[in-house]
């Protein structure tokens, strides 16, 4: 089996799960891991001899077969356009970044120029394939509701809305378009962005974000209605231990996306 050389952008909570799950995989080699300069030495020790820690695309000593981005919104704008222009396919984890005005157009232009493809993982939510398929026949309404424990909203604008540390009951943090939700809560609203891109778009998809001390999981609900019929799906995901803002399923989805690129049979 031909081994594919992959560039991993980001070695945080999601990147660490990807590294663990693909260690020793005969079909995939995470040959380069790009992260901040302050992380270089410690990251290289963690990686050992099998991978190389880098801090810039200029340090690549060969052409990656494809790349996986899981480093956040700044990394999307900094690294992804350059890779796409060079004809290198990119799998995107930080889908909420696409709510930033102009970024979708920038990435599409770069992909067309390089003849590359930017693919988005399904992440923490199911039924993305169903919503995307339903769009073909026509969608009338798509609603996303995200409910997380208060800890999952720390370090976000939610801290100005409610007292997260002393919250005793569920509190509404945001209600409006999915685009605004993704822009205001970039580390929490990747699901809202994914649902939007699969269906009606950022402006027409409605989103509600809730902090709830009565739950211990990240709960995502998607409701859709259209020519296909109706869909109502709820998923209660365990958060990653290293990052309560992110569901573990997001990291597993990233691993699956890489394996799907190299497997002879995919679903």
Chain centroid to Cα 213, Å, comes to 25
Determine which helix (DSSP H) or strand (DSSP E) holds 138, and give its type and residue range. none
> How far is 9 from 180, CA to CA, in rounded Å?
26
Looking at 79, 220, 245, 261, which residue is catalytic?
Answer: 220
233 Cβ neighbours under 8 A, 6+ residues apart = 125, 126, 127, 221, 222, 223
Packed helices 103-114 and 73-85: angle between N→C axes, nearest 10 degrees: 20
96, 182 contact by CB (below 8 A):
yes
> How far is 128 from 200, CA to CA, in rounded Å?
12
Is 73 marked active-site? no
- The C-alpha angle with vertex 245 and arms to 219 and 38, in degrees rounded to 5, equals 160
> How far is 153 from 212, CA to CA, in rounded Å?
10
> How far is 63 from 196, CA to CA, in rounded Å?
33
Q: Tokens for 154, please give them.
A: 């720390």
**Extended strands (E) in 125-184:** 139-148, 171-177
Q: Catalytic site residues?
A: 220
């Amino acid at each position: 089996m031909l081994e594919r050389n992959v560039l991993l952008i980001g070695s945080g909570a999601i990147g660490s799960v990807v590294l663990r799950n693909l260690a020793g995989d005969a079909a995939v080699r995470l040959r380069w891991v790009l992260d901040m300069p302050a992380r270089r030495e410690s990251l290289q020790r963690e990686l050992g001899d099998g991978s190389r820690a880098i801090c810039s695309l200029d340090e690549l000593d060969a052409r990656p077969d494809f790349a996986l981005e899981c480093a956040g919104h700044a990394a999307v704008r900094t690294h992804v356009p350059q890779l796409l222009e060079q004809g290198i396919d990119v799998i995107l984890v930080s889908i909420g970044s696409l709510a930033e005005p102009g970024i979708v157009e920038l990435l599409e232009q770069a992909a067309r120029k390089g003849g590359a493809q930017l693919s988005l993982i399904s992440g923490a939510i199911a039924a993305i394939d169903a919503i995307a398929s339903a769009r073909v026949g026509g969608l009338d309404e798509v609603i996303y509701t995200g409910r997380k424990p208060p800890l999952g909203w720390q370090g976000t604008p939610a801290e100005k809305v409610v007292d997260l540390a002393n919250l005793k009951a569920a509190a509404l943090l945001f209600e409006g378009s999915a685009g605004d939700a993704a822009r205001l809560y970039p580390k929490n609203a990747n699901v809202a962005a994914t649902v939007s891109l699969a269906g009606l778009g950022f402006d027409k998809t409605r989103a509600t974000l809730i902090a709830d001390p009565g739950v211990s999981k990240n709960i995502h609900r998607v409701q859709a209605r259209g020519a296909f019929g109706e869909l109502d799906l709820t998923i209660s995901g365990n958060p990653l231990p290293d990052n309560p803002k992110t569901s573990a399923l997001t990291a597993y989805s990233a691993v699956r996306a890489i394996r799907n690129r190299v497997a002879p049979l995919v679903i």
